Structure 1
């Protein structure tokens, strides 16, 4: 990976399609979700009433707020499965939307960074000290899709 770094964060700005708040529906786990954020947050409550309540939230911000509400019981295995669920949701999103799939592929080998002070797990913490797990996940999605395209041809 070279020095090429692509920062993203807000759905309405450059590379906004990389944000889970981008308005791209995702068909995942037999359900059509308004955004990948809705799908991801709902998975915290799989098997409970809160699962479908996340689907009914108006915006991805509302879905995130509900998913972060610690008065609602998280599934017991959440910490162990959240990274893989994020990968599955993001993979579904980029497989289902050709336009943003192309945007992702065209980043070549750039390092993708969710650049925000709001999150030091999924993002970079704003100063690079964060884990950048969403960026890492999207680079994995990019590699998966690239391999699928090679194998298709």
Structure 2
């Protein structure tokens, strides 16, 4: 696997670079405007771009999908990030779950588990910081935050058959 790096570019955005196993360096500059620059660096001078292609945000997403998509999104069920005692987990809502189709208020997930839903993601889009009237769509994804035991309990509720 190649070596990837990320560099903040103040006032511009972020530069991501990948040094391939073959020793080539390619990168993407993600501008604050959403524009992406796909860059191929010179083999002899990695600070010199020998080719650059400007992409719109949508074109960048399409190219990402063509290249295999985002590994985090490919493994939503397994994606768990730890920050000290805080766990963030992307949980696919089992269509057979007793909570599938309920609103967050009806599901009472926070009251039952102590974990909070900070976003909902479905095929039709995402809802950051959802309210009580937003639904746990069957097959959708709930982004859940809490201590490990709370997130595990929420995962179990969202995956158990009713």
Higher helix fraction (1 or 2)? 1
When normalised by structure 1's length, the TM-score is 0.30
Higher strand fraction (1 or 2)? 2
Structure with larger Rg: 2
Higher relative contact order (Cα pairs below 8 Å, separated by 6+ residues): 1
When normalised by structure 2's length, the TM-score is 0.29
